[in-house]
């Protein structure tokens, strides 16, 4: 799912509070009429190995997502990534339920 960068941290917290894990994400910046350029990406590391408690994995995924989102916000805090149409960077978060990764 995609969110504007300005609300992505709140979205990540809501996802985690619903018991879903964030396994990574990407930040895109609009470029003219194109969808956008990939500017930043991350994956929750280490990935789920099936032995880690799901709640712990959800917390770890959230912490890593918030770190990456804060980093992205700092990179784009001067409006450098806002295009002439007013579009702000967009964030994709890869999310999973426990059953999605556990089979």
- Taking only the tens place, the pLDDT of each residue in 26-79 is 999 877 666 778 889 999 998 887 788 999 999 999 999 999 999 998 887 655
Q: How far is CA 4 from CA 18, 53, 55, 62, 91, in A?
A: 20, 30, 26, 17, 6
Right CATH for 2-102 from 1.10.8, 1.10.150, 2.60.120, 3.30.190: 3.30.190
pTM for the full model?
0.85
- Tell how many helices (H) and how many strands (E) occur in the chain: 3, 4
**Quick one: tokens of 65?**
């997502």
Q: How many CB atoms lie within 10 A of CB 94?
A: 16
The pLDDT of residue 47 is 84
Counting Cα atoms < 13 Å in the Cβ hemisphere of 8 gives 30
């Amino acid at each position: 799912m995609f969110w504007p960068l300005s609300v992505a941290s709140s979205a990540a917290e809501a996802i985690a509070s619903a018991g879903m894990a964030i396994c990574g994400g990407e930040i895109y910046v609009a470029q003219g009429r194109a969808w956008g350029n990939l500017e930043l990406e991350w994956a929750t590391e280490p990935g789920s190995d099936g032995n880690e408690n799901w709640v712990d994995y959800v917390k770890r995924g959230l912490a890593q997502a918030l770190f990456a989102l804060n980093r992205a916000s700092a990179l784009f805090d001067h409006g450098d990534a806002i295009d002439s149409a007013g579009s702000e960077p967009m964030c994709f978060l890869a999310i999973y339920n426990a059953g999605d990764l556990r089979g």
